[in-house]
Amino acid sequence: MDLVSREVLDLLNLGILIVDETFKICFQNRFMKKIFVKNKIPPQCSSLPELIPGFSSPYFQMSLMDAIEQGHGLFFSAALHETLLGGREKYNIRVNRFLEDGEKRLLLEFTEVTDSFERIRQLRENISELRLLNQELKQKERSIQRLAYYDHLTGVANRALFYEMAEKFLYAAERNREILGLMFIDVDNFKQINDTYGHEAGDKVLVQVSEILTAATRRNDIVARYGGDEFLILLPQIKEPDNYKIVVSKILRAKRDALVSNGVSVKICLSFGVSFFPQDGCSVDQLIVKADRAMYVAKQQEGDNCYYAAEDHHETGPFINH
pLDDT at 114: 67
In a domain, 82, yes or no: yes
Q: Do residues 197 and 289 both lie within one domain?
A: yes
In a domain, residue 90? The reply is yes
Name the least confident of 18-27, 162-171, 303-312.
303-312
Could you write out the DSSP letters of every residue in 183-252?
EEEEETTHHHHHHHH-HHHHHHHHHHHHHHHHHHS-TT-EEEEEETTEEEEEEEEESSGGGHHHHHHHHH
Main-chain dihedrals φ then ψ at residue 202, nearest 5 degrees: -60, -40
108 and 127 both lie in a single domain: no
Domain extent at residue 106: 3-112
The DSSP secondary-structure symbol of 53 reads: G
Amino acid letter, 320: I
The answer to the question of residue 322 being in a domain is no
Which CATH number do you get for residue 58?
A: 3.30.450.20
Helices and strands per DSSP (H, E), number in the chain:
10, 12
Query: Does residue 315 sit within a domain?
Result: no
**Domain end point (choices 86, 112, 138):** 112
> Each residue of 127-179: pLDDT tens digit?
877 788 788 778 777 766 666 889 999 999 999 999 999 999 999 999 999 99
The reply to whether 62 falls in a domain is yes
Q: Residue 87: inside a domain, yes or no?
A: yes
What is the domain-level CATH number for residue 163? 3.30.70.270
Buried-state track 174-209, b at ≥16 Cβ within 10 A, e below 16: eeeeebbbbbbbbbbebeebbeebeeebbebbbbbb
Question: Does the pLDDT value for residue 122 go beyond 90?
Answer: no
**Same-domain status, 303 and 157:** yes
Is it true that the peptide bond before 278 is cis, omega within 30 degrees of 0? yes
Check pLDDT > 90 for residue 115.
Answer: no
pLDDT tens per residue across span 59-97: 888 899 999 999 989 988 877 776 677 666 778 889 999
Round to whole Å and give the CA distance between 64 and 242: 91
Same domain, 128 and 105: no
d(CA 83, CA 93): 12
30 C-beta neighbours (distance < 10 Å), count: 14
State phi, psi for 318 to the nearest 5 degrees: -60, 130
Q: Is 227 among the domain residues?
A: yes
Segment 172-201 shows an average pLDDT of 92
> Is residue 233 included in any domain, yes or no?
yes
Does residue 41 sit in the same domain as residue 106? yes
Q: What is the CA radius of gyration of the chain?
A: 42
In terms of domains, do 207 and 230 share one? yes
- Do 144 and 18 lie in a common domain? no
Domain count, the chain: 3
Sequence-distant (≥ 6) Cβ neighbours of residue 296 within 8 angstroms: 273
Residues 107 and 136 both lie in one domain = no
Looking at the structure, do residues 184 and 159 belong to the same domain, yes or no?
yes
73 & 161 share domain: no
Residues 192, 238, single domain; the answer is yes
DSSP bridge pairs for 233? 183, 223
The reply to whether 95 and 235 lie within a common domain is no
